[in-house]
Structure 1
Amino acid sequence: MPRNGEEDQSVPGAPSITRIRARPDPFLVVCRCFSFLTSLAAILCIAVNVLSAVRSFKHGSDVFDGIFRCYAVLIACFVALAETEWGFIIKFWQVLGYWAGRGMLQIFVAVMTRAFPDYTGERKELILLQDIACFMLLACGAVYVVSGILCIGFLKRSRQQQEITREQAVKDLEELQRRKEELEQLLVPETV
């Protein structure tokens, strides 16, 4: 009788073996999509800040704005890298393993992107792009902070561990089945 999350499937040579479903966890799919959206917002912030920095240095109007934009680019790159959940980043900056910390960094980058707007109206397209990037990353950061407070990040890590364990169990089961078939073939007497 199949348990929750499992179904009976006949495997050649062993019809009683149960297999775990290969369907991905919907919660983890939503988390991956949100992480992708956050990465896109961070990349958009990088682009906007690079354009603003180049414009500031090119026109020589405000060198401090250009330097500020360079820092915003570096931190936004760090935000995009943190969304990959690369082990190196999480190992050395453990606060980014927690969603509230990650969200606060995203909010900081959004505020840096929005800082020093052009009120003269000369760069309307750049200001519009700046607003879109800023508010997208600000919204993502707010969702991360609220989710972190509600311990959704802990739930995600728990489900990821379950998924890894389930995948390893399936691989082990397939390897055992393959090995069993090999041993059964060795036991069959050869006919001459």
Structure 2
Amino acid sequence: MSSSNRDPELLPQDDDTPPQLDLQHLKRGDPFLVVCRCFSGLAVISAILCVVANVFSAIHAFKTGNDIFGGILRCYAIVIALFVAVAETEWQRIFQFWKILEYWAGRGMLQVFVGVMTRALSDLESGGQAMVILQQVSSYMLLACGLVYIITGILCIGHLKRARMKKAESREQALRDLEELENRRKELQSLLGRRS
């Protein structure tokens, strides 16, 4: 076979420098994981809004002294809503003790519980119209997030996310290793250039 028929990319080049790697092209993120992070951020915002609404309601309940038991229930709602916000960070330590929160259906049920609790404990007298709107918006937002989590958890989307996260983590590790090798190659090339 004559050398003129060969693919020019397969021919050896005159210089022995390897091709430059385009690491920026390799670093692009997974769009599915980006959407999951955005939804998780929405769930955190909803949980924090529930915390704020329940804090103001609890303060009002304890100040007036009319609804002490309602104030105590609001304190529980505050703690659980904070727990929902922390669970959305997917901190592995929480999943060690509360394995069910690793699964989206379990996380969604907890969010629905906090949303319903916030809505059920809403008080028309605890700060006027603005407070009622905050309680309703926060409870319905968290309720909607919880329902989405339950439905997508039943459809095994959470399992897909965990698999893609593992793949993305191994890809990031491979990219870090590749960058280290590329930096080392450049250092060796500069040393060879000085000697020649």
TM bucket, shorter chain? 0.7 to 0.9
TM-score, length basis structure 2: 0.83
CA deviation vs aligned residue, 1:43-87 (integer Å, no higher than 9, x gap):
000000000000000011110000000000000000000011111
CA deviation vs aligned residue, 1:110-132 (integer Å, no higher than 9, x gap):
11101134367983322221111
2:5 maps to what in 1? none
Of 119-128 and 147-156, more deviation after overlay is shown by: 119-128
2:66 maps to what in 1? 61
CA distance, structure 2, for counterparts of residue 50 and residue 120 of structure 1: 14
CA drift at 1:189: 7.5
| Larger relative helix fraction | 2
CA distance, structure 2, for counterparts of residue 35 and residue 122 of structure 1: 29
CA distance, structure 2, for counterparts of residue 130 and residue 183 of structure 1: 63
**Which runs of 5 or more structure 1 residues have no equivalent in the other structure?**
1-12
Question: For 1:24, what is the secondary structure of its paired residue?
Answer: coil
Task: Choose which of 45, 59, 65 in structure 2 pairs with 1:40.
Answer: 45
User: Which contiguous aligned blocks of 4+ residues in structure 1 show a shift greater than 4 angstroms?
Assistant: 16-20, 119-122, 184-189
Does structure 1 conserve the Cα–Cα contact (< 8 Å) formed by 2:123 and 2:132?
Answer: yes
Q: Bigger radius of gyration, 1 or 2?
A: 2
CA distance, structure 2, for counterparts of residue 58 and residue 46 of structure 1: 18
1:14 maps to what in 2? 18
CA distance, structure 2, for counterparts of residue 116 and residue 87 of structure 1: 32
CA distance, structure 1, for counterparts of residue 52 and residue 194 of structure 2: 70
CA distance, structure 2, for counterparts of residue 85 and residue 57 of structure 1: 34
Higher relative contact order structure (alpha carbons within 8 Å, sequence separation ≥ 6): 2
Change (3 A) 1:161 1:125: same
Give percent identity, aligned residues only.
55
**Which runs of 5 or more structure 2 residues have no equivalent in the other structure?**
1-16
TM-score, length basis structure 1: 0.85
Q: CA RMSD in A?
A: 2.1
CA deviation vs aligned residue, 1:12-35 (integer Å, no higher than 9, x gap):
x42175756221111111000000
1:141 maps to what in 2? 146
2:82 maps to what in 1? 77
Amino acid at match of 1:81: V
Does structure 1 conserve the Cα–Cα contact (< 8 Å) formed by 2:74 and 2:121?
Answer: no
Please show how residues 1-192 of structure 1 align to structure 2 within 5 Å: 13-15=17-19, 19=23, 21-118=26-123, 123-186=128-191, 190=195
Instruction: Kindly tell me the number of residue pairs found equivalent between the two proteins.
Output: 179
